[in-house]
A and B are shown apart, each in its own frame.
Chain A
Amino acid sequence: MLKVCASISLGLVLGQITSHAQGYAPAAPAGSAPASAGMSAPVGGMFESNTFLEMASRAFDPSSDSMDFENGSFAWKGRTFNLTSQRAFRARFERFLLASPTEEEESYALLMNDVLQRLSVANDRSDDAILETWEMLFRAARFDTDGGNSTIVANQVFNAWRIRKEMRGTALTQRELADMRRHQQTVVANRALMLEKLKEKKQRESVRQTSEKEGNSEHTTFPTEGAFRALELAETEAKLIAMEGQAALTGIQAKLQMQSQIVAFLVQRRYQHALLLSGFYQLLFKGSQQQLEVGKGELKSFFPNTDMVFTVDMMAFVANEAITDVNKGVDAVNTAYAEDRAIIALERLQETFFLGEYMPELNAIPVEQRRMLLDLYRDMMEAVELAEAKDYNGVAQYAERIALIAKDFPLMRVLSSVETAKSMSDMAVFAASQYRNLGDIDKARAELQQAIDIWPSNPSIREFQQETTKLATAGSQGVQIFDDLYKRGDHRGIYDRRMDLGFALAEDTERQPLLMEVIEQVSTIDLLVAQSAEALKQGDPYVAWELLAEAAKFDPDDAPMNRARAELAPRVADFVVYLDRAQRQAAEAQHAGSLAGFLAAQDIYPASRMCREGIERQSSALMAHLSEQAEAAEE
């Protein structure tokens, strides 16, 4: 019963392991931690697995070191761009590799260069020229490549102009209000003087006049008019202050809007538009207004290691530098590709593409080259995914494909790592089989888990599973089979089924020793038969016969041994005749006759061990018999 339970438990465990490996079974609950402790992968397996993954990551990852998809950042000369997710980047990159340059894009590139040229300091900076340049922005906006960014620049410039115009109107109103204020101040001041004089006069007359009623009615008339005038003056003052504040605010707002947009263009890698807006900004605002007041947070993350004061000029400088770098990157890609360094070309292209994704300069990369790099890129990405899934056959297949495209791909390193990982997994499966056959289920489980960790799709694991299932099934029938064979004395039959029976009788204390004894016995017979065959090859048939005779002592009915004896007998017939006769007479206690037989056989093969032992044995018996007779005669 125990062995049946063991068989079933191993089957269940195996199923559990494989289903975990294939993701079909949920993770074990926390409460079962001690039971699952044995399933934890040994360190060696994980080490091997991680080593392979690191190698694969280095070999197949086409991204350059400056691209960090985990943190979503792209480092470029101390500046950090937001890289977005790898999938989004991959989609855009593949779209670029699939696209072909068009005439429209060439026209757009020429137009943008023209606009930038017009905004340079060295060119005509008259109002008409600037207006004409501004109008060119709307032409640029009509191109799909522009993405409407030129319209944003144009709007920003127009907004600044409008505010400037509004400020001119506000200045006029301010002057009128100031005139009105001066007049009102005069009026209020005159009214106050007159009122003072009247007050003095009234005080003098009040001494003489006693009628309070009349005097009271006159007293209320003058202060009411003065207060009214003062109120008007206060209103004018308030209007003037409000207008001044509004004008200042509007001016600041226009400046800040343009600054914000310049920073936004730079962070979005729209270097040409950043340059355009910077150029207009420098024309619209005086030199003292060049310091950036907005976007400090964005700029701090863009320039992480600097304490500089950010200015519009600085933004223009960075944009120009990026454009130069894109041009150099394109040259590097084309050169590497021409020299059969496709892996390097792909790495540099990714950097360059991300830096200058919206730059027309990327069109300098030929279409055929893009297609080939696209194939390489897709193969490498696929290989990375296969490596993460530990599909070593797939990895090797893709590595060979990549090596055909890219001469600088480290094919041998990849294949070597693949073979190492596969060997490690195979060895773990082999160890699991050994432990299973010995009945050490825990160790078998641990080794199998290690094999799965290293190479989940290892075909040996499937074979192991099938074999174990077969053993588990045979386990329940093993007792009956063993008993039948043992009863019939069919040791060879037991030996041939030793794997199945070994598993079935693993915990059977009664039959297990018998099984081991039979296995050892038949193994010895096989060994002796093999030695006999070797002796026969060396031309020593009598030695071969003696070895077979020795084997016959273990099991005279063993079929392979008897077959060998039958084949050999004609060659040693004379020897066998005497030997058989000697043994037969020995069995009948005919010691003298037996001794004669052994002596005759020894004459044929003097080195015979069987004869030597037989002579010794029979002579001793004979002498003992004669001694008894002699003693009997004396008595």
Chain B
Amino acid sequence: MPPLKPAKSRRPASIWSAVSLIVSLFAVALTSGCGDNFSDLEVLPTESYMKKPSDFLGNTYTIRAQIDSQVKWEKGVGRILAVLPESGGARLPVFVPDAVGGNLHIGQRYEMRARIEAGGLIYVESLRKY
């Protein structure tokens, strides 16, 4: 009868638990904003914006919306989209520069990080599907 291996070859369960915790925390960190810049932004108050866009100049907001139509596109510049905000209200025009947008299709839903530029322009800095 062979002799039993010594117990030193078995790793302790606490180590595995610690590794799992670290991995989980890293994942949570990744998903909760440590790796992006959306979660810490306010949602654009569309009604107020519609009344007086100039009051929002320079601010950055997040907008969760569905693409309704493409109003204008110019190569090397970008596209103007009409989006339907998730919060309701009228459609909003947003500008998505070429460098930010990839293949954008009508009906897709995006979360956008947008800054209000001169003239009340909603300038999308980044976006992601949701």
Question: Taking beta carbons and an 8 Å cutoff, which residues of A are in contact with B?
Answer: 578, 581, 585, 589-593, 595-597, 599-600, 602-603, 615, 619-620, 622-623, 625-627, 630
Question: Are B49 and A596 neighbours in the complex by a CB distance under 8 Å?
Answer: yes
For the complex, give the distance between the alpha carbons of A450 and B71 in Å: 67
What is the distance, in angstroms, from B122's C-beta to the closest C-beta of chain A?
7
A623: chain B residues within 8 A (beta carbon): 72, 74, 77, 80
Name A's interface SS: helix
What is the distance, in angstroms, from B126's C-beta to the closest C-beta of chain A?
17
For the complex, give the distance between the alpha carbons of A590 and B90 in Å: 18
Give 1 or 0 for each of B42-78: 1 = CB within 8 Å of chain A CB. 0000000111011000000000000000011010111
Indicate whether A595 sits within 8 Å of B71 (C-beta atoms), given known contacts A623-B80, A626-B77: yes
- Of the listed stretches B11-19, B31-39, B91-99, B105-113, chain A binds B91-99
What is the distance, in angstroms, from B95's C-beta to the closest C-beta of chain A?
6
Question: Are A595 and B93 neighbours in the complex by a CB distance under 8 Å?
Answer: yes
For the complex, give the distance between the alpha carbons of A383 and B80 in Å: 88
B74: chain A residues within 8 A (beta carbon): 623, 626-627
Indicate whether A596 sits within 8 Å of B80 (C-beta atoms), given known contacts A619-B93, A623-B72, A623-B74: no
The 10 lowest CB-CB distance pairs between A and B, nearest first, are A600-B90, A593-B120, A592-B121, A593-B53, A619-B72, A592-B120, A595-B93, A599-B91, A619-B71, A592-B119
For the complex, give the distance between the alpha carbons of A589 and B118 in Å: 10
Question: Taking beta carbons and an 8 Å cutoff, which residues of B are in contact with A?
Answer: 49-51, 53-54, 71-72, 74, 76-78, 80, 82, 90-93, 95, 117, 119-122
What is the distance, in angstroms, from B80's C-beta to the closest C-beta of chain A?
5
Question: Are A600 and B119 neighbours in the complex by a CB distance under 8 Å?
Answer: no
What is the distance, in angstroms, from A74's C-beta to the closest C-beta of chain B?
101
Question: Are A600 and B80 neighbours in the complex by a CB distance under 8 Å?
Answer: no
Q: Which of A581, A590, A622, A630 contacts B80 (CB 8 A)?
A: A622
Question: Are A599 and B76 neighbours in the complex by a CB distance under 8 Å?
Answer: no
B120: chain A residues within 8 A (beta carbon): 585, 590, 592-593, 596
Question: Are A622 and B82 neighbours in the complex by a CB distance under 8 Å?
Answer: no
B91: chain A residues within 8 A (beta carbon): 599-600, 602-603
Question: Are B54 and A593 neighbours in the complex by a CB distance under 8 Å?
Answer: yes
Question: Are B122 and A620 neighbours in the complex by a CB distance under 8 Å?
Answer: no
Q: Which of A589, A597, A615, A630 contacts B50 (CB 8 A)?
A: A597
Q: Which of B49, B51, B92 contacts A599 (CB 8 A)?
A: B92
For the complex, give the distance between the alpha carbons of A177 and B119 in Å: 161
B80: chain A residues within 8 A (beta carbon): 595, 619, 622-623
Indicate whether A615 sits within 8 Å of B71 (C-beta atoms), given known contacts A590-B54, A600-B50, A626-B77: yes
For the complex, give the distance between the alpha carbons of A202 and B49 in Å: 190
Question: Are B49 and A589 neighbours in the complex by a CB distance under 8 Å?
Answer: no
For the complex, give the distance between the alpha carbons of A298 and B51 in Å: 117
A619: chain B residues within 8 A (beta carbon): 71-72, 80, 93
Question: Are B119 and A591 neighbours in the complex by a CB distance under 8 Å?
Answer: yes
Indicate whether A599 sits within 8 Å of B90 (C-beta atoms), given known contacts A592-B122, A620-B72, A622-B72: yes
